[in-house]
Amino acid sequence: MRTGRTAGIAIAAAALAGLAACGRKGPEAPGREVVTQLLQQEADALKRDGEKLDPVLRVKATWTIAGIDVTERPGDPERPWAGAIRFKIRSEMRDEQGVATVDEFDRRFDYAYNAGLKRWIFQLAPSPAP
């Protein structure tokens, strides 16, 4: 009788362990505040790199962060957040005579937060259909 009880407990424990393994989700996603701050750091790095002056081209660029958007992606435990960084970019180029040419445009960078890596990953825009 004792052997039956021990076997029953072992079977129940194995079944519970199996259920727990099946129900296991991916890595726990951080909250909106955490991922927004990480995306802000990414935006600051893009701005810093984009504004580096190229003396050969004589182009000065000013990158203004127009917005940072963070959207929850329910049902996707590997990429629980989507993000976008929007910039207004102003470039100024001077020719040999000192005449300035100014160009202004908007630029958007899309990201997905990878829960396994715990960081934002740049998302390439899909290629246009042929």
Give domain limits for the chain. 29-123
- In this structure, are residues 87 and 93 in contact, taking their beta carbons and an 8 Å threshold? no
pLDDT of residue 97: 85
The Cα 30–Cα 107 span in angstroms is 27
What mean pLDDT value characterizes the chain? 84
Confidence grade of residue 4 (pLDDT, cut at 50, 70, 90): low
pLDDT digits (tens, 9 = 90+) for 86-129: 999 999 988 888 888 999 999 999 999 999 999 999 999 776 76
Among 92, 95, 115, residue whose Cα is nearest residue 103: 92
Q: Please tell me the number of Cα atoms within 13 Å of 110 on its side-chain side.
A: 7
Tell me which architecture the domain covering 29-123 has in CATH. Answer: Roll (3.10)
Task: Determine the residue type at 26.
Answer: G
Instruction: Decide if pLDDT at 10 tops 70.
Output: no
pLDDT at 23 (0 to 100): 45
Q: Is 114 helix (H, G, I), strand (E, B) or coil?
A: strand
Whether residue 55 is predicted with pLDDT greater than 90 in this model: the reply is no
CA distance 36 to 91: 27
Amino acid 62 reads T
Tokens of residue 27, six digits: 């890595």
- Decide: 122 and 116 in contact? Cβ < 8 Å: no
Q: Identify any residues that bridge with 87 across adjacent strands, giving them in sequence order.
A: 65, 107
Burial of 47 (0-12, 13-18, 19+ CB in 10 A): middle
Mean predicted confidence (pLDDT) in 51-78: 92
**Element housing 100 (H / E):** strand 100-114
Tell me, yes or no, if the pTM score tops 0.85: no
